[in-house]
Amino acid sequence: MKYAEITGCGSYVPPLLMTNDDMSKVVETSDEWIYSRSGIKQRHYSHVSTGIMGWLACERALAAAGVLASDIDLIVLGSTTPEEICPNTASFIKNELGAVKAAAFDLNSACTSWFYGVNVASDMIKAGSIKKALVVGSERLSLAMDWQKRESCFLFGDGAGAIVLEATDQKLGLLSGHISCIPNSRECLHLPSWGMSPAHFTNDIFISLNFEGQEIFKSAVKGMSDSIATVLERENLTPEDIDLFIPHQANIRIIQSLAKRLDFPMEKVIVCIDEYANTSAASIPLALCDALADGSVKPGMTILTATFGAGLTCGAGIIKWGDTVAPAKLSNKSIPEFDGTVFDLMKDSFSHYRIDAEHLLTKV
């Protein structure tokens, strides 16, 4: 039987920071208010597109794996913020990489998109239809923030993370994955008119996130717990058998509640929400890349991951790590930095939501 080993990991995090103190210049909030409710200290905002961020993360993942772009059979982009609906953004990444023979598609299940993509690509490798795949999560959610909603505008950041999957005869990679969608829960996390609705053909559309925190918390913890129970049972494992837990980085309280349900020590949980905020489809691969970089991932580890997103989609997986924890090489590709501050970058967005952008620039 074939398996799909993770052989390389790469990420891109935009250099521009929006700290909680910066956020307090835009909306009525504070560092203490945000951090105590979410665990977030800052978020990164991008001056380039979802596709460009995804391309660089893939370049770095390919270098880490020691794999050529021309050898890749499939590229899956998980994202809620693609550049265009047609053609897909994965085809842009394919062309930028020079992955000449790769099929390419976008997958949108909100924050779970990258994990859903890993499930799909791993199953295709196990079935024998492909041998090598790139799965990338890339998000530019800063474009979708409603600056008049203090309860949600601080939650999200931008970034991209990617992995290379390769066919192997060893029992490695995603051993079991469970994906689900909680019924009748779409409206509690919702971006109305974020798509092809007729409203997009007017000049008056305002993107505004509907966010029902208590309902999301309850449904997310239960949905992920159920998926975790399913994959542990499939692999005949208990929480004690798990070496590392890499959850979706949405809210520190959700992560802590999930760990408590599992009776899983927080010392074995990867937490980076303070650094990146919620980067949606990019959050788990970003956390994985950080865990590899700081030595938290070790050869032979059994890793648990769990995620949820708008829909409400949920999932969990058991990953068996191989021997490779250091990159084969480093990519020399890069993205030019933005010439200005984060307030310069977001000036048009602030103005769109009737925030006095010029006043903000004078406060920096």
pLDDT range class, residue 199, cuts 50, 70, 90: very low
Beta carbons of 84 and 197 less than 8 angstroms apart? no
Question: Residue 106: which domain range?
Answer: 3-363
Please state the length of the chain.
Answer: 364
Which of 68-82, 167-181, 189-203 shows the lowest per-residue confidence on average (mean pLDDT)?
189-203
Which of 51-60, 88-97, 217-226 shows the lowest per-residue confidence on average (mean pLDDT)?
217-226
For the stretch 235-268, pLDDT in tens is 999 999 999 999 999 999 999 999 998 899 999 9
Report the percentage of the chain scoring pLDDT > 70.
88
pLDDT range class, residue 350, cuts 50, 70, 90: confident
pLDDT score of 111: 93
pLDDT score of 204 more than 90:
no
pTM for the full predicted model? 0.92
Distance (Å, rounded) from C-alpha 114 to C-alpha 126?
A: 18
* CATH code assigned at 189: 3.40.47.10
The gap from C-alpha 25 to its chain's centroid, in whole angstroms, comes to 27
Higher local confidence (pLDDT), 210 or 173: 173
pLDDT score of 185: 59
pLDDT score of 183: 73
Mean pLDDT of 215-231: 85
Distance (Å, rounded) from C-alpha 345 to C-alpha 184?
A: 37
CA-wise closest residue to 278 among 141, 147, 146: 141
pLDDT score of 196: 58
Instruction: Tell me the catalytic residues.
Output: 111, 248, 278
pLDDT score of 232 more than 50:
yes
For Cα atoms 355, 357, 358, give the angle at the middle one, nearest 5 degrees.
135
Residues paired with residue 43 on neighbouring β-strands, in sequence order: 18
pLDDT score of 214: 66
Higher local confidence (pLDDT), 311 or 32: 32
Which of 67-71, 73-77, 152-156 shows the lowest per-residue confidence on average (mean pLDDT)?
152-156
Number of domains making up the chain: 1
**Mean pLDDT (the chain, rounded):** 90
pLDDT score of 1: 84
For the stretch 2-15, pLDDT in tens is 999 999 999 999 99
pLDDT range class, residue 113, cuts 50, 70, 90: very high
Report the percentage of the chain scoring pLDDT > 90.
74
